[in-house]
Structure 1
Amino acid sequence: MSLEEEGICFHSDASDEDISRENTTDLNEIVSTPKIGMNFDSLDALFLHYKIYGRQEGFGVKKKTSRKSLNGKITFVCFSCSRARKSQPTKQNFLIPNPQMKTDCKARINATLFEDGKCKINYVVLEHNHCLSPHRSRFYTCNREISIGVQRRLELNDRAGVSVAKKFQTLVVEAGGHDKVPFLEKDCRNFVDKARRLRLGIGDAKAIHDYFMSMQAKNSSFFYMMDLDDDGRIKNVFWANSRSRALYEEFGDVVTFDTTYMTNKYDLPFAPFVGVNHHRHYILLGCGLLSNEDTNTFIWLFKTWLTCMNECAPIAIITDQDKAMKKAIEVVFPETRHRWCLWHILKKIPEKLRGYKFYEQIKNVLKNVVYDSLTKEEFEEKWGDFLNEFNLLENVWLNDLYEERHRWVPTFVIDTFWAGMSTTQRSESMNSFFDDYVNSKTSLKQFVEQYDLALRNKVEKENLANFQSFSTEILCVTHFEIEKQFQMIYTHSKFKELQHELTRKLYCNVSCKGEKDGAYYVTETLFIGDKQKEMGYNVQFNNETCEVKCACRLFEFKGIICRHALSVLIREHVKSVPEKYIVPRWRKDIKQCHTRIKVNYNEWSGSFETQRYDRL
Structure 2
Amino acid sequence: MDEDTNVEPMFDYHGFDEGYARTKSFSARKNRTRKSHAGALKLKNFVCHREGFKPQNNYGIGNLKRKHTPETRCGCSAMMEIRVDAPSGRWFISYFSDKHNHPLLDPRLTGLLPGHRFMFEADIGHMVNMKKGGISVRQIYRALANQTGGYEYLSFMQRDMYNKIAKQRRQLPGDAYEALKYLEDQATNDPSLYFNHHMDADGTLRNLFWCDGLSRANYSLFGDVLAFDATYRKNKYMCPLVVFFGVNHHNQTIIFAAALICDEEKDTYRWLLQQLKVAMNGKAPVSVITDGDLSMKFTIEKEFPNAHHRLCAWHLIRNATSNIGKPLFTSMFKNCMLGDYEIDVFRQKWFEMVEGFGIENKNWVLDMHKKRHSWATAHIRGKFFAGFRTTSRCEGLNSIIAKYVNSRYNLVEFIQHFNPCVDHIRWKEVQADLASVNGRPSMQTCFQQLKRSAANVYTLSIFHMFQPILVRAASMKVINMRQTGSYVIYSVGLDRMPNEMWRVFCCDIEMEFNCLCMRMESFGIPCEHIVCVLVHEDIEELPRSLVLPRWTKTAKVGLQNAVGLHWDSLMLSQYSCLMDWFRQLANFACRDNERFIFTREMAMNLLKQFKEEDAAQKELVNDADSVRDGVQVDAFGAGLATNDLGYSMPRDPRKYRTKGGLHSLIKENIDVDSVVWRATIEQLVVFVVASHSQKAMEMTHLIMTRMIT
TM-score tier by shorter-chain length is 0.5 to 0.7
Shift in Å, 1:253: 0.8
Structure 1 residue identity aligned to 2:351: G
Deviation of the 1:284 alpha carbon: 0.9
CA distance in structure 1 between the aligned counterparts of 2:377 and 2:362, rounded to whole angstroms: 22
Give the TM-score of the pair, scaled to structure 1: 0.62
Aligned-partner Cα distance in 2 for 1:250–1:416: 18
Aligned-pair CA distance for 1:425: 3.0
1-side partners of 2:692 and 2:477: how far apart? 67
Matching of residues 477-496 of structure 1 within 5 Å? 477-478=444-445, 479-496=447-464
State the distance in 1 between where 2:416 and 2:356 align: 57
Instruction: Note closer, same or farther for the CA distance 1:289–1:534 as it changes in structure 2 (3 Å cut).
Output: farther
- 1:501 Cα deviation (Å)? 1.4
Aligned residue among 359, 365, 372 for 1:392: 359
SS of corresponding position for 2:322 = helix
Residue 390 of structure 1 deviates from its aligned partner by 1.5
C-alpha distance in 2 between matches for 1:281 and 1:363? 29
Q: Percent identity?
A: 28
Determine helix, strand or coil for the equivalent of 2:230: coil
Distance 1:206 1:524, change over 3 A: farther
Bigger proportion of residues as helix: 2
> Which of 582, 590, 593 does residue 547 from structure 2 map onto?
582
1:554 to 509, 515, 519: 519
Q: 2:406 aligns with which of 426, 431, 439?
A: 439
Amino acid at match of 1:491: T
SS in 2 for 1:603: helix
Alpha-carbon distance between aligned partners in 1 of 2:359 and 2:389, rounded to the nearest angstrom: 26
- Select the residue among 682, 690, 696 that pairs with 1:609: 690
SS for the counterpart of 2:404 is coil
1:489 CA drift (Å): 1.6
Task: Specify the SS of the correspondent of 1:299.
Answer: helix
Give the 5 Å matches for 1:119-138.
Answer: none
Query: What are the Cα deviations for residues 154-202 of structure 1, in whole angstroms up to 9, with x where unaligned?
Result: xxxxxxxxxxxxxxxxxxxxxxxxxxxxxxxxxxxxxxxxxxxxxx986
CA deviation map 1:397-419 (0-9, x unaligned) = 11101111111111211211111
Kept in 2: contact 1:316–1:418 (CA 8 A) = yes
1:473 paired with 2:479, answer no
Q: Post-superposition shift, 1:515?
A: 4.4
Tell me the equivalent position of 1:536. 500
For residue 308 of structure 2, the aligned residue among 330, 337, 346 is: 337
When residues 296 and 520 of structure 1 are mapped into structure 2, their CA distance, relative to the original with a 3 A threshold, is same
Letter in 1 for 2:232: Y
Match of 2:195 in 1: 224
State the SS of the aligned residue for 1:576.
Answer: coil
Match of 2:391 in 1: 424
- Give the distance between the partners of 2:424 and 2:370, measured in 1 at CA: 43
Structure 1 counterpart of 2:75: none
Does the CA-based 8 Å contact 2:384-2:524 persist in structure 1?
yes
Q: Are 2:378 and 1:403 aligned?
A: no
Which of 400, 404, 417 matches 1:450?
A: 417
- Give the whole-Å Cα distance in 2 for the aligned partners of 1:334 and 1:254: 14
Larger RCO of the pair (alpha carbons < 8 Å, separation 6+): 2
Q: Is the 8 A contact 1:605 1:611 kept in 2?
A: no
Greater mean alpha carbon deviation, residues 396-405 or residues 560-569: 560-569
Q: Distance in 2 between matches of 1:592 and 1:263?
A: 37
Matched residue SS, 1:221: coil
Tell me the secondary structure at the aligned position of residue 493 of structure 2: strand
Residues 10-50 of structure 1 deviation map (CA, whole Å, 9 limit, x = unaligned)? xxxxxxxxxxxxxxxxxxxxxxxxxxxxxxxxxxxxxxxxx
Partner of 1:564: 529
Structure number with bigger Rg: 2
**Residue type of the partner of 2:211?**
A
Pick from 553, 562, 565: which aligns with 1:597?
562
When residues 435 and 523 of structure 1 are mapped into structure 2, their CA distance, relative to the original with a 3 A threshold, is farther
CA contact (8 A) 2:249 2:555 kept: no
Shift of the alpha carbon at 1:470?
2.0
Q: CA deviation at 1:339?
A: 1.5
Instruction: Tell me by how many angstroms 1:305 deviates.
Output: 1.1
- For residue 372 of structure 1, what is the amino acid of its counterpart? G
Query: Which of 337, 345, 350 does residue 383 from structure 1 map onto?
Result: 350
The answer to whether 1:326 aligns with 2:326 is: no
Q: 1:270 to 1:543 in 2, by over 3 A?
A: closer
Q: Does 1:317 align with 2:288?
A: yes
- Output aligned runs, 1:223-262, within 5 Å: 223-262=194-233
**CA offset at residue 491 of structure 1?**
0.9
Kept after mapping to 1: 8 A contact 2:241/2:261: yes
**Deviation of residue 320 (structure 1)?**
1.3
- Counterpart CA distance in 1 for 2:286 and 2:508 is 31
2:476 partner SS: strand
Q: Is the alpha carbon distance of 1:467 and 1:250 closer, same or farther for their aligned partners in structure 2, counting shifts above 3 Å?
A: same
Following superposition, the deviation at residue 457 of structure 1 comes to: 2.0
Quote the Cα distance in structure 1 between the aligned partners of 2:409 and 2:499.
51
Contact 2:182 2:412 survives alignment (8 Å): no
Deviation at 1:541, TM superposition (A): 4.2
> C-alpha offsets along residues 123-166 of structure 1, whole Å, 9 cap, x if unaligned?
xxxxxxxxxxxxxxxxxxxxxxxxxxxxxxxxxxxxxxxxxxxx
Superposition deviation, residue 472 in structure 1:
2.1
Aligned-partner residue type, residue 395 of structure 1:
K
1:344 deviation in Å?
Answer: 1.2
Q: Cα RMSD between the aligned structures? A: 2.5
Contact 1:452 1:601 in 2 (8 A): no
| Cα distance change on mapping 1:351 and 1:491 into 2, 3 Å | same
Q: Conserved in 2, the CA contact under 8 Å of 1:561 and 1:581?
A: yes
TM-fit CA distance, 1:521 = 3.1
Distance 1:330 1:547 in 2: 32
**Alpha-carbon shift at residue 431 of structure 1 (Å):** 2.2
1:179-190 matches, within 5 Å, as none
Q: Which residue of 1 aligns with 2:175?
A: 204
With over 3 angstroms needed to count, the CA separation of the structure-2 counterparts of 1:595 and 1:232, relative to structure 1, is same
Alpha-carbon offset, residue 614 of structure 1: 6.0
Q: Equivalent residue for 2:471?
A: 503
- Paired residues of 2:340 and 2:517 also in contact (CA < 8 A): no
Contact 1:211 1:602 in 2 (8 A): no
TM-score between both structures, scaled by the size of structure 2: 0.54
Distance in 2 (alpha carbons) for counterparts of 1:503 and 1:411: 24
Residue among 278, 289, 307 paired with 2:249: 278
**Any unmatched runs of 5+ in structure 2?**
1-168, 573-688, 701-709
Structure 1: segments with no counterpart, 5+ residues? 1-199, 526-532
Gap change, CA 1:429 and 1:537, over 3 Å in 2: farther
Aligned partners of 1:351 and 1:483: how far apart in 2?
A: 45
Distance 2:197 2:179 in 1: 10
Matches within 5 A, 1:344-383: 344-354=315-325, 359-383=326-350
CA pair 520-238 structure 1, distance change in 2 beyond 3 A? same
User: What is the SS of the residue equivalent to 1:227?
Assistant: strand
Q: 1:544 to 1:594 in 2, by over 3 A?
A: closer
| CA deviation vs aligned residue, 1:338-380 (integer Å, no higher than 9, x gap) | 21112211121221111xxxx2332222222223252222212
Deviation at 1:428, TM superposition (A): 3.1
C-alpha distance in structure 1 between counterparts of 2:253 and 2:223, whole Å: 12
What corresponds to 2:671 in structure 1? Answer: none
Distance 1:421 1:411 in 2: 15
How far apart are the structure 1 equivalents of 2:691 and 2:439? 38
Aligned partner of 1:288 in structure 2 is 259
Q: Deviations over 1:279-318 (max 9, x none)?
A: 1121111110010001011011111111111112111111
User: Using the alignment, how far apart are the partners of 2:236 and 2:495 within structure 1?
Assistant: 52
Once the two structures are TM-superposed, the CA of residue 396 in structure 1 deviates from its matched residue by 0.6
2:382 to 382, 400, 415: 415
